[in-house]
Structures are given as structure tokens and as C-alpha cells.
Structure 1
Amino acid sequence: TYIYKSDGTEKIWRLDPATLQEIDYIQTVTDRSIFNKANELEYVDGKIYANVWQKESMMIINAKSGAIEGVVNFGGLKNKVKQHAELDVFNGIAYHPERKTLFVTGKNWDTLFEVRIIPRKE
């Protein structure tokens, strides 16, 4: 098991949990391009859930290959929280293992949203 670290580029670093030393990295990619701006990370069952810096969206990244397997649009959530001068960007992801849900929020938001990610049927 690794600890994962974002540096805001296309790289997500794997760290040794005992020493916090960088071991290697994956690059976040689609079938068309390399993608950067992964911010806050949450590892769940082989996937990295990463909010996109300054966007109301979250990438679902394969932790081994770096392939972006999906994007979740959280546009509109910010409108559902108390509006005030200090309100800031979407930026918070946490996993609840018993319920298999994610909690998402933003900076200075007064609300924590519990969501379940359901794969889209093709």
C-alpha cells in the first residue's frame, strides 16, 4: 500500500508509507492527452478520486496506470450551501468504507454532501 501525493501537475506520486519518500509516479491520462490539476486525493479500492483544481469536478483515476476512467461533475453543489464572502472552491473528498459512499465539500462550505458514485451504463 502506498500513500499518494499530488503536486498539481500530471504526476501523482507514490510514497513509501514508512518513510514518505517518493518511490515513483503515475501520469494522469486520457486516450487523447495528459491531464494535470489533480488536487485533493482519496484512494479507494484501486482508484484515486481527485478533485480538479479550481473546478467543480472529480476525476476517477486508475491507481496503477494513471488512466482517467471517469469524471464526475459536481457543478451546482456550491449553490446549495450558505452563500457568504468567504465561500470558496470545491475541494474535499473522503471515503466512508462501511457505506461505500464519498463525502464531498468545498473550502468554507457549511455542508458536507454524501454521494454514491454509480458507473454509467453504456
Structure 2
Amino acid sequence: MLPASWYYEWGYPVYEEDSRSMLEHRNTKKIKYAIQTEGSDITYIAGLYRYEDHGDMKVPMFSILTREAAGIIKDIHDRMPVILDKNSLQDWIRPDGDPFSITEMALTNMVFEKAVEYHRSPTEFITA
């Protein structure tokens, strides 16, 4: 499980009076959206991880699980992460938990907005 404030997705613009299908959107320039669970500051994204040896270090490697888009997300993209409810987190991390029943209860009540781009020089973060 990966806690996040938002996740980002490149999607097609959404207009009030837009009756185009997802296929018709393919000719539209995508924009970046910030997406989070409605009514929460934390979005819990289902994922799997393992540690790999890289030289003399153990490095965590992870994958985010996705599903067919649901709710308002299907208006901008065809896939979305599996979003866990806060009450199912303990079940998700239990070794004997049932991931299929947990993912069936995945949340779809999301909100999104156009992401704000912060253009900064890479050297702004370097301190002497």
C-alpha cells in the first residue's frame, strides 16, 4: 500500500457539454490531472513490493495495481489505481489477507483538478 496526497494522470480534457466518446478524444491533447480520494487528504493506493539486491544495497521495487476506470475518472482515462479504503488497510498488509475481496471493495469516489506545474531550475534544490 502506498499512501499519497494525490496521484497524477494524463487525461483528456473534460467539458460540460461533451458527448464525444473516449475514441473521439484520442485526437485531443492530454492534460495532467491531480486526483485524490473524495473527502480525504490521503489516498491509499494498492501495490506490491519486494527488495532487490543492487550491489551492496537492498532496493525496494514496487508496482501499483490498476483497474478499469470508474466514477468520474473514466471521463479522463481508461485505467486507474486500485484505491483502498482506510478501513481495509490492515487486511491488505496481512500475509493471510484475501486481496481479491479487498480489491472488490476498492474506492471509486475520486475528485480531480488540472495539475499545477511548478517550473523550477534543478539547481534551486542544491544547497552549498
Query: TM-score, with normalisation over the residues of structure 1?
Result: 0.29
Structure with greater strand percent: 1
Structure with greater helix percent: 2
Q: Which has the larger radius of gyration?
A: 2
> Which structure exhibits the higher relative contact order, with contacts defined as CA atoms closer than 8 Å and separated by 6 or more residues?
2
